C-alpha cells in the first residue's frame, strides 16, 4: 500500500514537472523582455515579445505532430524527441549571439515542450480511469495553475542575481531533470495492440472531420480568439508594468494577481458548470468581459489611456476571472463532438486555436503606445467577436434543425 502511494506521488510529481515546462518557458521570461530588448539593441522594445510568440509558433507545430505520432509508436519515443529539441533550443538560447538565434532557440523550445505538454494527458488516460484518473489530474492541474503564478518571480529572482541567459539555464536544467526522471521512472503505457497506424490519409480525414463538425470548429476559433487576447497581455505586460508604471520590482507580484484570478475561476467553474452547463458559463463570461471592458474604456478615455495602477489591476483581476472561466469550457465544447478522433482531435484543437491566437497576440503586443489601450481594446474586440460568432452559429444551427424537422 505504501509502495503504491509512493509510486503515485512520484508519478504526480513527474507529470506536474513535465506539464509545467511550457508555463515556465513562457512566464519566467516575462521580467527579462525589457533587458533582452536592451541587450540586443532592438529598435522597438515591443519586438522583444517575439521571444514569447516564437515559442507559441513552435508549440502549435509540435502539438499537431506529437498526439497522432504517440498513438502510432507509443508515448515514450515522441517525448524523448521533444525533450531533445527543448534541450537543443535551450542551449541555443543560452549561447545566442543575435536576436534571430534567440528566436530559433525559442521555436525549438516550443516544438520540444509540446511533447510532454500534450502526451502527459495520454499517459494518464492509458494508466488510469474513473475517480483515480480524476484525482491524479486534479492534483496535476493544481500544480499547473500555481506555476504561472510563481514563474515570473523565479525569473525576476534570477534576473536580480545574474544575467537573463541564466533563465534559459534554469529551463535547461529542469528539462534535463524531468527528462531523466521520465526515462528512469516511467514505463511505456500504450500497448502495441492499441496503437493506430499513422498515415497522411488518416491525418487528412481527421482534419476533414473537424472542419465538418461546425460546433467543434466554432469553439476552437473562439478559444483561439480568447487565447489571442491573453497572449497579447503576456506580450504587453512587461512594457505596461515595467516601462509604463515603473514597477520592475513588483512585476512578479502584479502578474501573480491576475494569474490567481485565472486559477480561482477554474475552481469556481468546476462547481458551477455542472449546474449551469458549459454554454451558459461561456455566455456569461463573455458578456461579463465585454461589459467590464466597455466600462473600463470610459476610464481610459478620462485618463488618456494611463489610469492609476490600482484601477488597472481592479480591471485585470475580474477580466482574467472571466478568461479563466472561458479556457476550460471552450476547449471542452470544441472536443465534445470529436470523440471518434479524440487523440488527433485534441492535437487539431490545440494547434488551430494557437495558430488563431498568435497573430492576435502579436498585433496587440506590437501596438503598445505608452498606454493601456491596446491590451484593453484587444479584450473588448475578442469578447464582442466571440459573442457574435457564437450567436451566428446558434442561429444557423437552429435554422438547420427547423429545416430538418420540416
Give residue 343's pLDDT: 64
Cβ atoms of residues 55 and 25 within 8 Å: yes
User: What is the C-alpha separation between 116 and 118, in angstroms, rounded?
Assistant: 6
Q: Which residues have C-beta within 8 Å of that of residue 392, sequence separation ≥ 6?
A: none
Phi, psi of 155 (to 5 degrees): -60, -40
245 CB-side CA count, 13 A? 21
- Residue of higher predicted confidence among 195 and 282: 282
Confidence grade of residue 74 (pLDDT, cut at 50, 70, 90): confident
Cβ atoms of residues 112 and 57 within 8 Å: no
Cβ atoms of residues 10 and 140 within 8 Å: no
- Joined together, the cell numbers standing for residue 329 give 469550457
User: What is the C-alpha separation between 106 and 108, in angstroms, rounded?
Assistant: 5
Give residue 128's pLDDT: 62
User: What is the C-alpha separation between 324 and 258, in angstroms, rounded?
Assistant: 10
Residue 398 predicted with pLDDT over 80: no
Residue 99 predicted with pLDDT over 50: yes
Query: Over the stretch 7-35, which tens digit does the pLDDT of each residue have?
Result: 567 777 777 788 788 889 999 999 999 99
User: What is the C-alpha separation between 391 and 395, in angstroms, rounded?
Assistant: 6
User: What is the C-alpha separation between 366 and 45, in angstroms, rounded?
Assistant: 9
Residue 385 predicted with pLDDT over 90: yes
Residue 88 predicted with pLDDT over 60: yes
CA of 379: how far to CAs of 50, 141, 292, 391, in Å? 20, 25, 10, 18
Average pLDDT over residues 238-250: 92
Give residue 282's pLDDT: 93
CA of 285: how far to CAs of 253, 278, 319, in Å? 25, 10, 9
Query: Over the stretch 347-359, which tens digit does the pLDDT of each residue have?
Result: 788 889 999 999 9
Cβ atoms of residues 210 and 216 within 8 Å: yes
Residue 158 predicted with pLDDT over 80: yes
Q: Which residues have C-beta within 8 Å of that of residue 14, sequence separation ≥ 6?
A: 178, 181, 182, 185, 186
Give residue 12's pLDDT: 73
- Residue of higher predicted confidence among 17 and 109: 109
Give residue 1's pLDDT: 43
Give residue 129's pLDDT: 57
- Joined together, the cell numbers standing for residue 102 give 534567440
User: What is the C-alpha separation between 239 and 86, in angstroms, rounded?
Assistant: 27
User: What is the C-alpha separation between 69 and 105, in angstroms, rounded?
Assistant: 23
Give residue 116's pLDDT: 86
| Residue 339 CA to its chain's centroid (Å) | 22
Residue 244 predicted with pLDDT over 90: yes
- Residue of higher predicted confidence among 322 and 331: 322
Query: Over the stretch 278-304, which tens digit does the pLDDT of each residue have?
Result: 899 999 999 999 999 999 999 999 999
- Joined together, the cell numbers standing for residue 84 give 531533445
Give residue 213's pLDDT: 85
- Residue of higher predicted confidence among 274 and 77: 77
Query: Over the stretch 132-156, which tens digit does the pLDDT of each residue have?
Result: 555 565 566 666 667 878 889 999 9
Residue 198 predicted with pLDDT over 80: no
Q: How many CB atoms lie within 10 A of CB 266?
A: 17
Average pLDDT over residues 243-255: 92
Give residue 147's pLDDT: 81
| Residue 218 CA to its chain's centroid (Å) | 19
Average pLDDT over residues 38-45: 91
User: What is the C-alpha separation between 329 and 326, in angstroms, rounded?
Assistant: 5
Cβ atoms of residues 163 and 39 within 8 Å: no
CA of 113: how far to CAs of 22, 66, 251, in Å? 6, 10, 25
Give residue 262's pLDDT: 85
Pick from 399, 382, 278: nearest CA to 335 = 278
Range of weakest confidence among 91-100, 157-166, 198-207, 396-405:
396-405
Domains detected in the chain: 1-195 (1.20.1250.20), 199-400 (1.20.1250.20)
Tell me what the pLDDT averaged over the chain comes to.
86
Amino acid at each position: 500500500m505504501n509502495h503504491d502511494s509512493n509510486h503515485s506521488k512520484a508519478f504526480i510529481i513527474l507529470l506536474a514537472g513535465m506539464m509545467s515546462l511550457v508555463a515556465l518557458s513562457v512566464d519566467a521570461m516575462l521580467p527579462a523582455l525589457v533587458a533582452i530588448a536592451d541587450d540586443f539593441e532592438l529598435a522597438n522594445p515591443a519586438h522583444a515579445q517575439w521571444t514569447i510568440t516564437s515559442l507559441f509558433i513552435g508549440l502549435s507545430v509540435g502539438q499537431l505532430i506529437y498526439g497522432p505520432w504517440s498513438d502510432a509508436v507509443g508515448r515514450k519515443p515522441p517525448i524523448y524527441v521533444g525533450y531533445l529539441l527543448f534541450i537543443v533550443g535551450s542551449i541555443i538560447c543560452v549561447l545566442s549571439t543575435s536576436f534571430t538565434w534567440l528566436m530559433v532557440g525559442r521555436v525549438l523550445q516550443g516544438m520540444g515542450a509540446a511533447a510532454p505538454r500534450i502526451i502527459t494527458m495520454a499517459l494518464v488516460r492509458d494508466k488510469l480511469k474513473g475517480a483515480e484518473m480524476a484525482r491524479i489530474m486534479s492534483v496535476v492541474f493544481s500544480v499547473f495553475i500555481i506555476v504561472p503564478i510563481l514563474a515570473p518571480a523565479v525569473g525576476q529572482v534570477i534576473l536580480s542575481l545574474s544575467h537573463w541567459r541564466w533563465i534559459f539555464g534554469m529551463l535547461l536544467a529542469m528539462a534535463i531533470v524531468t527528462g531523466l526522471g521520465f526515462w528512469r521512472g516511467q514505463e511505456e503505457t500504450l500497448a502495441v495492440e492499441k496503437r493506430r497506424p499513422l498515415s497522411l490519409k488518416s491525418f487528412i480525414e481527421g482534419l476533414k472531420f473537424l472542419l465538418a463538425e461546425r460546433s467543434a470548429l466554432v469553439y476552437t476559433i473562439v478559444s483561439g480568439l480568447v487565447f489571442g487576447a491573453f497572449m497579447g497581455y503576456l506580450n504587453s505586460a512587461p512594457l505596461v508594468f515595467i516601462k509604463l508604471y515603473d514597477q520592475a520590482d513588483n512585476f512578479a507580484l502584479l502578474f501573480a494577481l491576475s494569474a490567481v484570478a485565472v486559477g480561482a475561476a477554474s475552481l469556481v467553474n468546476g462547481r458551477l458548470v455542472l449546474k449551469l452547463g458549459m454554454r451558459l458559463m461561456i455566455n456569461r463570461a463573455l458578456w461579463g468581459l465585454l461589459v467590464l471592458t466597455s466600462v473600463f474604456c470610459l476610464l481610459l478615455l478620462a485618463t488618456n489611456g494611463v489610469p492609476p495602477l490600482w484601477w488597472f489591476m481592479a480591471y485585470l483581476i475580474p477580466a482574467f476571472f472571466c478568461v479563466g472561466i472561458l479556457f476550460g469550457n471552450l476547449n471542452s465544447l470544441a472536443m465534445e463532438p470529436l470523440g471518434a478522433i479524440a487523440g488527433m482531435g485534441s492535437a487539431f484543437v490545440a494547434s488551430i486555436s494557437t495558430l488563431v491566437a498568435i497573430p492576435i497576440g502579436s498585433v496587440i503586443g506590437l501596438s503598445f503606445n505608452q498606454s493601456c489601450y491596446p491590451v484593453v481594446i484587444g479584450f473588448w474586440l475578442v469578447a464582442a467577436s466571440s459573442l457574435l460568432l457564437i450567436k451566428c452559429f446558434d442561429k444557423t444551427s437552429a435554422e438547420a434543425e427547423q429545416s430538418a424537422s420540416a
